[in-house]
Amino acid sequence: MMSRAATEYQYLAPDPRSAYKQLRIKGRRIFARTIYGQYVNAEQPRSIEELARDFHIPIEAVKEAIAYCQSNPPEIEEDFRLDEALAQASGTADPNYRFNPKVRPLSPQDYARIRRSVRS
């Protein structure tokens, strides 16, 4: 399968304002991974047509999002690692968080350090 760098997407693009690197539907704040997750949901998978209708996007955009995710792009895994590292650092990953929802604030320096460690 072609690498993302060699692939031209009609409906997908990165969001330059986001800390997340995975692609989104152009002009929308919808991650391709969100669409894919609903498509492959083990309990209640949704069809391409349902997703296109519910997200108000073309069927071709749904198919492109699915193909992108099936190519296993490294930026999705990096984004998951970033979320996990931030949750650990802020305390929201603690199993008791739901009983005692206190978040440790992260400074911009903490956040930058965590991002660098995940992206390296």
pLDDT digits (tens, 9 = 90+) for 45-103: 999 999 999 999 999 999 999 999 999 999 999 999 999 999 999 999 888 888 888 88
Q: What is the mean pLDDT of residues 94-117?
A: 89
Structure confidence by residue, pLDDT tens digits, 5-49: 557 899 999 999 988 999 999 999 999 999 999 999 999 999 999
- Provide the whole-model pTM: 0.81
Residues 6+ apart with CB under 8 A from 99: none
At 49 the pLDDT is: 98
**Does residue 61 sit in the same domain as residue 91?**
no
**Does residue 66 sit in the same domain as residue 107?**
no
At 3 the pLDDT is: 44
CA 8/CA 12 separation, integer angstroms: 9
The two three-digit tokens of residue 15, written as one number = 């969001």
**Does residue 39 sit in the same domain as residue 65?**
yes
CA 21/CA 19 separation, integer angstroms: 6
**Does residue 10 sit in the same domain as residue 64?**
yes
User: Can you tell me whether residue 77 is helix, strand or coil?
Assistant: helix
**Does residue 11 sit in the same domain as residue 31?**
yes
CA 23/CA 84 separation, integer angstroms: 19
Q: What's the structural domain count of the chain?
A: 2
Amino acid at 98: R
User: Can you tell me whether residue 14 is helix, strand or coil?
Assistant: coil
Residue range of the domain that includes 94: 75-119
**Does residue 68 sit in the same domain as residue 109?**
no
**Does residue 21 sit in the same domain as residue 53?**
yes
